[in-house]
């Protein structure tokens, strides 16, 4: 978390520097836009963190072991696949949820299945995709993407012990 915060801080400072160099009130406009976006997304982030907190407190160990551990095998991945498809608001909700589930001991295979499903199969995007490039390309993308979360989850389950200590 510390490294991410430092990287984000360096990025912010670089952007402020570029905006200051550009002039024409770009620094003030950037902060104004940040405040507007912050106010717009604050309720969603608040809900995401509330979900994260309750998952952290309420998720029983038995459910994690039975349904969401890598030992649950394909059953855990199927649950993760469906949850990824159904997650509203994509990564704004999904990323804090994954952080809480990871902390609760959910296996890397299940988490990667969920993240990949959320990124490739979210039902919320389907109407937008149909509107932009039609139902045929949308259907093709969905059909070829259905298996990707399972493949990614399997690879995470196999490689997880080498990358994540204790998994």
**Predicted local confidence at residue 122, as pLDDT:** 87
Is the pTM here over 0.75, yes or no? no
**Predicted local confidence at residue 134, as pLDDT:** 92
For residues 80 and 117, the answer to whether their CB atoms sit within 8 Å is yes
Percentages helix, strand, coil for the chain (3-state, rounded to 5) are: 85, 0, 15
C-beta neighbour count of 8 within 10 angstroms: 10
* Domain boundaries of the chain, sorted by first residue: 1-58, 61-161
In this structure, what token pair is assigned to residue 161?
Answer: 């012990």
Q: Indicate whether 60 pLDDT > 80.
A: no
pLDDT tens-place string over residues 64-109: 778 777 788 888 899 999 989 988 777 778 888 888 888 888 889 9
């Amino acid at each position: 978390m510390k490294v991410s915060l430092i990287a984000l801080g360096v990025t912010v400072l670089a952007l402020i520097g570029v905006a200051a160099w550009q002039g024409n009130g770009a620094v003030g406009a950037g902060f104004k836009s940040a405040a507007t976006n912050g106010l717009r997304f604050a309720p969603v982030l608040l809900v995401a963190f509330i979900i994260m907190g309750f998952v952290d407190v309420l998720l029983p160990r038995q459910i994690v072991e039975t349904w969401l551990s890598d030992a649950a095998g394909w059953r855990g991945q199927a649950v993760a696949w469906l949850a990824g498809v159904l997650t509203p608001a994509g990564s704004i909700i999904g990323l804090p949820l994954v952080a809480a589930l990871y902390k609760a001991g959910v296996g890397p295979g299940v988490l990667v299945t969920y993240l990949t499903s959320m990124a490739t199969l979210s039902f919320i995007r389907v109407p937008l995709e149909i509107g932009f490039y039609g139902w045929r390309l949308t259907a093709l993308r969905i059909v070829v993407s259905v298996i990707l979360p399972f493949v990614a989850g399997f690879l995470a389950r196999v490689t997880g012990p080498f990358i994540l200590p204790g998994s």
